[in-house]
Structure 1
Amino acid sequence: MEQHRQNQRMPNRRDRPTGPRQPETNNALTPKDIIAILRRHVWLIISLTIIGFMIGGVSWFLLLRYSPKYSASTFIKVLSPAEKDPTAFGRGMATKDVQFGYRQSIAQLIRRPSNLSALLKRDKIQDTKWFKQFGEIKDKRLGKALKDLKKRFGVFADRDAEFVVVSMSCGDAKEAALIVNEMAKMFIATQGTTKRKEVAEKLARFNEQLARLEANLSAAERAMDEVRKRWGFMDLEEGSFESTTTITLNRLELEQNELFLEISEIAATVERFEEQVAGPIPTQVSQQIERDPIMLNLGQQLSAMEARLAGSLTKLGENHRVIRELQEQKKAIEQERELRRIEISERTRQANLNNAKDRLTILQDKYEQLEIIRKEAEATKRDYDLAIVQYKQRLAIRDERKERLNEIKRSIEKLKIMHDDPETPKVQFVGDAPVPLEVSSPKWQVFFPGGIFLGFMIGVGISFLIELLNDLVRTPRDVGRFLHVPLLGVIPDADDDDNAYDVDQFQVLRLAPYSFVSESYRRFRTNLKLSNAETNAKAFLISSAAAGDGRTTVAVNLAMAFVTENKKVLLIDANFWKPNLHTIFKENDSQDAETEQYESEFGLSTLLAGLCGYQEVIRPSGTEGLDIIDAGLLPVNPAELISGPQMEQLIKHQRQIYDYIIIDAPPVLLVGDVKTLAKYVDSTILVFNAATTRRGIAIRMVGELRTADANIAGCVLMAVKAMKGGYFAEQFKLYNELQKAQMAHSV
């Protein structure tokens, strides 16, 4: 059965889960990181801030005593750039932006190099101490003075007020005011002369235009007289009434139209009368016939005859001779009456027809005469219209020249007023600049806060520079940000723990079990177990990048942490170059020379070389549950021994006996044995020292182990300082309070 357990093969490493991998993290600084950096370097920042305050104060005092500056200023009032009508009340207005732009242009004019050079040539300016300080050579002195004046002389256009501020700074208060006043007066005078010269030039041009327009106006009036004489019309002036020719033509056309209508009516009457002559007697003619005296007499006779006939017929009968005579007389009267009616009808209709024809002839003759007169009027009207067109053309030319002449006269009057107007230059001198009573520079309100701010910013900059130049793996965040390896434990620096600072760190878990350092190892043990819960890992390899990183300390204390859980642990020292376990775990203090010889002869090297068995190399550590295999003598070929089958058989065999096997390996970057050992164990644990391990070395170590297909369970960060704003700043305080509470409760 024992042989069967020894021959069991280790599980396939590629089938085991490699443990949780931390997510990629952003390398940018977070607000929390920035605050932590500032807290860690708070005293540096405070010191530099105080130094900056002192430097600012000293600079202010020295400048105030040896190089004070006085600033004098005055105002130049800038009027609205809108053209003002001098004949009207009020002032021309412009928009606020236009006025501000005009003030800016005035400010630029004041600062022109030509104005500055002209200012320097004035006698009062050349007599100042400020001007004399630039030497005696005229050309060089003017150049230096101009260069210095550009720096010290300022012109500012106020946006809300109608002023341009002119200022000057120099070492003498009176000279500063003098320079400002001289510039303001010189510019006002120059601007007034320039503007009045411009007005005078405009006035001369307008007078020339006035003379030309008067000559052109006389020529236009002569052309109008020529049109009137040529056509013979004197009523060509445009007015509200029509001309005589037009009125006559309109009257003739109206009479002709009325006559045409009358002719049409007469022609229709003639046609109607012609139809009546050939047709039945119309009603009107019948009425005229009935009114004829003869017809009336015959009608009376006929009525009397009918009455007589009716009376005789009753008495005599129809066949009586008298009756027949009366009937014949009646018939004769009726025939005569009919003949008279026909005669009157024919005569009346013919007379009406003849009268209508005569009227038609008269009207037609009159229409022809009107047509002749109308054509003559139309010809006259055409001549009149042509004359009107020519006259209006010349009249428009005359009116245009006359209006232009009036405009020129008004403009000349305005320019004459503007030439003598004091507001023509658009700038006015408000008053002399007062002599400044206080220095303008230096001001303590600037130097003291400026020194404080500068010192503070330099302190902050140096703090961040220190942090950026420091490439150590110092914090858990550095592990996650740069290495991307699961962090299993963070061990604080023992100097920060009052309970562990004077204790042997190899056995701090046993000697100071209630210290925060010991609690950190126990937390590391718990995290390791949780990360390997699924794989049930039992063999662990502990390694670091370089010697002195705390690799052996972590291995020993991890073994102690497992032992406190009543686990059986085998601790193997595989560092042939610098073994430590034989000095940490001694059998007893009274060992003799023979025992020392035994310790030096038996160890892992002799076991791998086949010079001894397991029982000879495994020894107790002095702590129950913890056994040790020392490194033994340094072999000639350590790499070959590590890669041989004996090492793999050792781990397989002891896996059946011990709950955990912990191997203290040499540094990864110094020897290649670690890569071989990593193949025999379940998981590899890396140790980074916050005080010595650099990021590049740590990244290289992780990369080489992953290239060798090592199962990296995680890492441990050793010797982490409790920095201000760091990882353990509050942890120590809370843990100490908790320990005090537990001890009080246990008592």
Structure 2
Amino acid sequence: MDKSIQRAVNTPVTPVGPRSAAPPVALMGATGTAMTPKEVMGILRRHIGMIVLLTMLGLVIGGGAWAVLRRTMPRYTARTHIEVMPPIQQDPTQISSVQPNRDIYYQFRATKAAQMTQQNMLQELLRNDTIRNTNWYRQFTEADSTGAGGEAEAVRKALRNLERNFRVTAPRDLTVIVVSMRCAESREAKTIVDTAVRLFLTEQREQARRDISAELAERRNQRDSIRRALDTIEQSLESIRAGTRFARLNLTGRTNFRDYMDDKMADIEQRFSLYDSERGRLESIIETLRNRATAPEFDEVVREQIERDPIARQMRANIATMEPILERQLARFGGEHRVVKETRAALEQMHADLAYRQNEIAEIFRQSDYRNAQDQMTALTQQLDTVTRQLQEAQNEYKEIDRVRAEYARYEIQREEQQRLLEEMNMLIEKLNAMYSDPTIHKMRAAGLA
């Protein structure tokens, strides 16, 4: 039982006198306002009939009103839902699934729900013959049957009714869009909901396919451009092969390949090095032979050649034979004898002939060696000039083939790049075709009829 609240009351001050036996005023008020359980039960017993009567009367009035409204203005709600898949463009060639972000997923569902209740979608729904044949739509046309203006007014009223009774929601914790419609007839509510879902899914599917078709057209144009570039590159490669005398232009991946030009260059450079070193050797020999040919005295090499001359050797032998004869004649006849003089003259002539022969042999030897060395130098110089010219031609040829191969390799790199792009483009087109054929291209699927 609730306790009474004691309040302070300003009472006038009474004179002090004899205390009466009556209870205080505050105590009397507190005792009078408090109710006991017995008093409460007494009140309920006295009014139980009224309580039951009013309750029954309320039930009867409410039930009757409900029955009248059900008969005169019934309200039925048809409800269905659309399954929304994650907004991820998944590769159709792969089976693995990707978990989307929950906030993005919800935002995607909310966007789809908002699109379904847009003005153009509701107008498209009202233009559908199935909806126009319903009693729900006829109630607006019967009220406004005055021609074109009446039709527009009927559409406006129907739109207003749809805005009140047509609901599309996207619950955060679910992966569906809930579509509901409330109207007087359950069958028509179901028809409106099913038609709205069908039209919306069809429009979304066609929109997604239009986007895919536009992208497919762009990708096909890109593929045709890549193919034309490949044809141009192939023509350039064929032109390079036809316009050069060199072979083996494709050296891609042949890191250890030794071309015939490498062998040719190595052979010419080896011969050039050999001839150049031989020329240096001949130059030193010619300088030595020139000094030997112009020297006033014979060196050891010339004297050795003179000693080897058989005629001079015979002449020395003859002189050696005549000298004993002259000595014997001098001893026998004296120095003034005719025979001695003839022998002495002959011996002197033999010495003169020997000296002349030695000088002649020395000059012949020195000049012949010098001229032979010069002739060798001339021949070697000609050979060196020939090799130098061949080396220059080989170097120019090597540069030319290197330039041709570099140009050929550049076109090959472009061809490989274009082929790779063509393969990627074909793969992308195949994926887009698979996506175009996908019935759930619009990332939605009807869960069933209302």
TM-score w.r.t. the length of structure 2 is 0.52
Higher relative strand content: 1
Q: Select 1:87's aligned residue among 82, 85, 93.
A: 93
Residues 393, 92 of structure 1: alpha-carbon distance in 2 compared, 3 angstrom cutoff:
farther
Q: Select 1:239's aligned residue among 219, 243, 252.
A: 252
**Matched pairs, number:** 289
Give runs of aligned pairs for residues 216-615 of structure 1, distance below 5 A.
216-241=229-254, 242=257, 244=259, 247-248=262-263, 251=266, 255=270, 373-433=390-450
1:175 aligned onto 2:172: no
Question: Is the 8 Å Cα contact of residues 75 and 429 (structure 1) preserved in structure 2?
Answer: yes
**Aligned partners of 1:177, 1:143: CA distance in 2, in Å?**
22
Q: Which residue of 2 aligns with 1:102?
A: 108
SS at match of 2:442: coil
Q: Which residue of 2 aligns with 1:193?
A: 206
Residues 120, 233 of structure 1: alpha-carbon distance in 2 compared, 3 angstrom cutoff:
same
- Measured after TM superposition, the shift of residue 145 of structure 1 is 1.0
**Amino acid of the residue matched to residue 387 of structure 1?**
V
Q: Deviations over 1:379-411 (max 9, x none)?
A: 122112221232233333433433333333333
- Measured after TM superposition, the shift of residue 172 of structure 1 is 4.1
- Measured after TM superposition, the shift of residue 221 of structure 1 is 0.7
**Aligned partners of 1:196, 1:371: CA distance in 2, in Å?**
73
Question: Is the 8 Å Cα contact of residues 276 and 384 (structure 2) preserved in structure 1?
Answer: no
Question: Is the 8 Å Cα contact of residues 75 and 166 (structure 1) preserved in structure 2?
Answer: yes
Question: Is the 8 Å Cα contact of residues 83 and 92 (structure 1) preserved in structure 2?
Answer: no
Residues 376, 140 of structure 1: alpha-carbon distance in 2 compared, 3 angstrom cutoff:
same
**Amino acid of the residue matched to residue 424 of structure 1?**
I
SS at match of 1:155: strand
Q: Which residue of 2 aligns with 1:144?
A: 157
SS at match of 2:248: coil
**Amino acid of the residue matched to residue 380 of structure 1?**
E
SS at match of 2:440: coil
- Measured after TM superposition, the shift of residue 224 of structure 1 is 0.8
- Measured after TM superposition, the shift of residue 183 of structure 1 is 0.9
**Amino acid of the residue matched to residue 169 of structure 1?**
R
SS at match of 1:81: coil
- Measured after TM superposition, the shift of residue 70 of structure 1 is 4.3
Residues 229, 128 of structure 1: alpha-carbon distance in 2 compared, 3 angstrom cutoff:
closer
Residues 95, 234 of structure 1: alpha-carbon distance in 2 compared, 3 angstrom cutoff:
farther
Residues 230, 177 of structure 1: alpha-carbon distance in 2 compared, 3 angstrom cutoff:
same
**Aligned partners of 1:254, 1:63: CA distance in 2, in Å?**
121
- Measured after TM superposition, the shift of residue 254 of structure 1 is 8.3
SS at match of 1:425: coil
**Amino acid of the residue matched to residue 409 of structure 1?**
N
Residues 250, 183 of structure 1: alpha-carbon distance in 2 compared, 3 angstrom cutoff:
farther
- Measured after TM superposition, the shift of residue 430 of structure 1 is 0.8
| Structure 1 unaligned spans of 5+ | 1-56, 271-356, 434-747
Residues 367, 89 of structure 1: alpha-carbon distance in 2 compared, 3 angstrom cutoff:
farther
RMSD: 4.4
**Aligned partners of 1:167, 1:418: CA distance in 2, in Å?**
30
**Amino acid of the residue matched to residue 88 of structure 1?**
Q
- Measured after TM superposition, the shift of residue 143 of structure 1 is 0.3
**Aligned partners of 1:247, 1:168: CA distance in 2, in Å?**
87
Q: Deviations over 1:634-660 (max 9, x none)?
A: xxxxxxxxxxxxxxxxxxxxxxxxxxx
Higher relative helix content: 2
1:113 aligned onto 2:119: yes
Residues 237, 134 of structure 1: alpha-carbon distance in 2 compared, 3 angstrom cutoff:
same
**Aligned partners of 2:388, 2:114: CA distance in 1, in Å?**
83
**Aligned partners of 1:101, 1:251: CA distance in 2, in Å?**
74
SS at match of 1:168: strand
**Aligned partners of 1:198, 1:415: CA distance in 2, in Å?**
10
**Amino acid of the residue matched to residue 189 of structure 1?**
T
Q: Which residue of 2 aligns with 1:78?
A: 84
**Aligned partners of 1:246, 1:82: CA distance in 2, in Å?**
58
Question: Is the 8 Å Cα contact of residues 206 and 408 (structure 1) preserved in structure 2?
Answer: yes
Give runs of aligned pairs for residues 713-728 of structure 1, distance below 5 A.
none
- Measured after TM superposition, the shift of residue 78 of structure 1 is 2.0
**Amino acid of the residue matched to residue 222 of structure 1?**
Q
Q: % of aligned pairs identical?
A: 26
Residues 116, 395 of structure 1: alpha-carbon distance in 2 compared, 3 angstrom cutoff:
same
- Measured after TM superposition, the shift of residue 146 of structure 1 is 0.4
Q: Deviations over 1:511-553 (max 9, x none)?
A: xxxxxxxxxxxxxxxxxxxxxxxxxxxxxxxxxxxxxxxxxxx
SS at match of 2:178: strand
Question: Is the 8 Å Cα contact of residues 231 and 383 (structure 1) preserved in structure 2?
Answer: no
Q: Deviations over 1:307-357 (max 9, x none)?
A: xxxxxxxxxxxxxxxxxxxxxxxxxxxxxxxxxxxxxxxxxxxxxxxxxx9
Q: Deviations over 1:199-234 (max 9, x none)?
A: 344444544544454344223211111112223222
Q: Which residue of 2 aligns with 1:156?
A: 169
TM-score w.r.t. the length of structure 1 is 0.33
Question: Is the 8 Å Cα contact of residues 272 and 387 (structure 2) preserved in structure 1?
Answer: no
- Measured after TM superposition, the shift of residue 62 of structure 1 is 9.7
